[in-house]
Amino acid sequence: MKLKIAALALLSAVGLAGCQSQTAEVTAPAPCLAECQSAKFDKVGQEFVQDLWRQSPTWALYSGFYDYADQLEIPDAMSRASESQFVARWRARLMPYAQQPLTSAARIDLALITNMLDKMEWENTRFKSWQWNPANYNVAGPFARLMNEPYAAEEVRLRAILGRMELVPDYYSAARANISNPTLEHTELALLQNQGALSVFSDAMLTMALDSGLSAQEKGLFEQRFYIAKQAIQSHIGWLEAEVARLTQHGARSFRIGEALYEEKFALDIQAGMTAKQLYQKALADKSQAQQQMVTITEQLWPKYFPNTRMPADDLLAVRQMIDHLSARHVQRDEFVSEVRKQIPELVQFVNDSKLVTLDPDKPLVVRETPAYMRGFAGASISAPGPYDKHANTYYNVTPLDGMSDEQAESYLREYNHWILQILNIHEAIPGHYTQLVYSNESPSLIKSLFGNGAMIEGWAVYAERVMLEQGYGGYEPELWLMYWKWNLRVITNTIIDYEIQVKGIDRQRAMSLMVDGAFQQQEEAAQKWRRATLSQVQLTSYYSGFREIYDWREENKVQLGQQFDLQRFHETFLGYGSAPVKYIRELMQQ
């Protein structure tokens, strides 16, 4: 009944009916001034979001909107057709507003929605990763969220899990029907992460249901669906194992997407007002500048650490020797996660004392080991609640090193040494991702909060590293600044290797050389980054792209305002516009 009411409400709001959805005439809004048109558009934007959640219940769930949490979308041809109809319907609905005067805030919301519709169509009809990327298919994440996030009473969450479990076998059947000519790399990742999915469908889930207040009938159905869903995952794992063996023996398509698709994806994802090639060329120029900063600091530190040894004539060799010497200072492998947890209060104290940005003590940050179903992509990440669920936990996921050999663990720990581990925590937590995403949820524009721009989000985290050191974090210790420049060089190199791997087709040996020889990274870190670059496209450019935009805008704003410039006010104003692309935030701040 609930779904029928929702469907009728949608038809009423959109003014469409059944098969007329793509052909119905759209009445242009009555003429009025920008404020008036923007008020009308805001209502349409709210209707768009509600329609989007009906179209994409899983996306809604991750945004903290749980009305459709019991619905598992089947990724089949019918769902893709439905998504195409959604795109066409909303393009028609929004078209009149593109020709009307709007306030800057409303115009930017319209641009964000339009970009999202363009991206949905592009991924569906042009990129088609649903065919070649088996890692797209994994049911575990939403189930884990429903189990662990107390957004409602336990019985409510268990009933959502119960409803969602019903179609797990159909989900994986559709996934296997979709997959055609996959890459080996994405198939291996899918295998790893679906094996991790079994940790979600564990005895703990079943016990939670059987010990709950569900009715006896519900408990019986829950147990039945639990075992069927678990068997569906295990069957899919078996199929993936066979696919990995087949692709390993007979070969697979390349993970590289080529220049045309890369430029298209860059334009849709980054929204930076430049091409991927232009950003790549900027990164090449900044690489030499970062290296020179490291040479200067190495010259300063050399007498302290090598008092009886002449510094090598080869500047980069000297930097490498200094970094290798300093990197021996790191935590023990079994203390890695606990050390991350220990540093968070220290960062909070510094940000508060320095008045860099106001932190909300009531928004919890939980450091946890990365769940098994999320591993295999990044060693550290943030899982943040959406604007509907803004008081829920933000999770700082840190992958323990227990799956590494002693040699791998030592290499990884030297990369995340005493100084760089602090920079990592600034980036991921305070005042990086965690802080930015808390502010994003408070944005008055739901559109700007929901449709986050990756370059703004990652760029802020990289910017946070710089501003913390500029304001005296670490006491201007040259060792910390040397490691900062090493980290910053890694950000720059991310852009270079991502472009060169996907567009220029460089091999693993060349990419490893760029990271190890050119950016002073440890072998294990470089190996993991190579793997990540084979599994994603464009995302690795977001760090450098967003950082350059934010930092350059701050410096320009300082000149514009002179003595009236206030760093905390700049940060809080900037963060107050949600997760919109930097170019749009800049435009709004200039007004």
In whole angstroms, how far apart are CA 61 and each of 55, 155, 274, 397? 12, 17, 33, 19
Q: Which domain, by its residues, includes 64?
A: 2-127
Q: Judge if 582 and 436 occupy the same domain.
A: yes
Q: Is the pLDDT of residue 9 over 70?
A: no
Amino acid symbol at 35: E
pLDDT of the residue at 31: 61
569 domain-assigned:
yes
Q: Judge if 65 and 177 occupy the same domain.
A: no
Q: How far is CA 340 from the centre of its chain?
A: 20
Q: Compute φ and ψ for 368, nearest 5 degrees.
A: -140, 160
Full DSSP string of 509-549: HHHHHHHHTTT---HHHHHHHHHHHHH-SSGGGHHHHHHHH
Question: Taking the CA of residue 297 as centre, how many other CA atoms within 13 Å lie in the half-sphere pointing to its CB?
Answer: 23
Q: Is the pLDDT of residue 413 over 90?
A: yes
Q: Is the Cα dihedral 263, 269, 275, 277 positive or negative?
A: negative
Q: Compute φ and ψ for 16, nearest 5 degrees.
A: -125, 165
Assess contact for 459 and 547: CB atoms under 8 A: yes
Q: Is the pLDDT of residue 380 over 90?
A: no
Full DSSP string of 401-417: STTS-HHHHHHHHHHT-
- pLDDT bin (cut points 50, 70, 90) of residue 402 is confident
Q: What are the contacts of 226-233 at 24+ separation with CB within 8 A?
A: 226/165, 226/201, 228/165, 228/168, 228/169, 229/139, 229/165, 229/168, 229/169, 229/201, 230/198, 230/201, 232/168, 232/169, 232/171, 232/172, 233/139, 233/168, 233/172, 233/194, 233/197, 233/198, 233/201
Rounded-to-integer distance, Cα 229 and Cα 223, Å: 10
Q: Judge if 314 and 225 occupy the same domain.
A: no
Condensed to tens digits (0 to 9), the pLDDT of residues 233-289 reads: 999 999 999 999 999 999 999 999 999 999 999 999 999 989 999 999 999 999 999
In whole angstroms, how far apart are CA 80 and each of 77, 246, 395? 5, 28, 32
Q: Is the pLDDT of residue 23 over 80?
A: no
As given in the structure block, the two tokens for residue 554 are: 């701050």
Question: Taking the CA of residue 455 as centre, how many other CA atoms within 13 Å lie in the half-sphere pointing to its CB?
Answer: 30
pLDDT of the residue at 236: 98
Chosen domain end from 195, 224, 255:
255
Q: Judge if 581 and 481 occupy the same domain.
A: yes
Q: Judge if 103 and 145 occupy the same domain.
A: no
Q: Judge if 338 and 445 occupy the same domain.
A: yes
The packing angle between helices 315-327 and 276-305, to 10°, is: 70
Question: Taking the CA of residue 128 as centre, how many other CA atoms within 13 Å lie in the half-sphere pointing to its CB?
Answer: 11
Sheet holding 380-383, edge to edge: 365-369, 394-398, 380-383
278 domain-assigned:
yes
470 domain-assigned:
yes
Q: Rounded to two decimals, what is the model's pTM?
A: 0.86
Chosen domain end from 190, 220, 255:
255
Rounded-to-integer distance, Cα 112 and Cα 239, Å: 39
Chosen domain end from 127, 157, 183:
127
Rounded-to-integer distance, Cα 370 and Cα 373, Å: 8
* Residue 544: how many other CB atoms lie within 10 Å: 27
List of residues 6+ apart from 500 with CB closer than 8 A: 280, 506, 510, 511, 514
As given in the structure block, the two tokens for residue 417 are: 């040494």
Q: Judge if 243 and 353 occupy the same domain.
A: no
Q: Is the pLDDT of residue 4 over 60?
A: no
Q: Judge if 37 and 91 occupy the same domain.
A: yes
Rounded-to-integer distance, Cα 492 and Cα 541, Å: 8
Element housing 174 (H / E): helix 168-178
Q: Judge if 325 and 453 occupy the same domain.
A: yes
41 domain-assigned:
yes
pLDDT of the residue at 377: 62
Amino acid symbol at 268: L
Q: Judge if 62 and 194 occupy the same domain.
A: no
pLDDT of the residue at 29: 53
Q: Is the pLDDT of residue 30 over 80?
A: no
As given in the structure block, the two tokens for residue 490 are: 């890694």
Rounded-to-integer distance, Cα 516 and Cα 472, Å: 29
Q: Is the pLDDT of residue 543 over 80?
A: yes
Find, among 480, 376, 499, the residue nearest to 424 by Cα. Answer: 480
Q: What share of the chain in percent tops pLDDT 70?
A: 94
Q: Judge if 406 and 467 occupy the same domain.
A: yes
pLDDT of the residue at 33: 86
As given in the structure block, the two tokens for residue 275 are: 């091409």
319 domain-assigned:
yes
Q: Is the pLDDT of residue 1 over 90?
A: no
Average pLDDT, whole number, for the chain? 92
314 domain-assigned:
yes
CATH number of the domain that residue 185 is part of: 1.20.58
394 domain-assigned:
no
Condensed to tens digits (0 to 9), the pLDDT of residues 82-120 reads: 999 999 999 999 999 998 899 999 999 999 999 999 999
Stretch among 223-237, 320-334, 392-406, 460-474 having the lowest mean pLDDT? 392-406
113 domain-assigned:
yes
Q: Judge if 79 and 147 occupy the same domain.
A: no
For 561-573, what is the mean pLDDT? 97
For 493-511, what is the mean pLDDT? 97
Stretch among 51-55, 449-453, 539-543 having the lowest mean pLDDT? 449-453
Number of independent structural domains in the chain:
3
Q: Is the pLDDT of residue 12 over 70?
A: no
pLDDT of the residue at 14: 31
* Residue 445 DSSP label: -
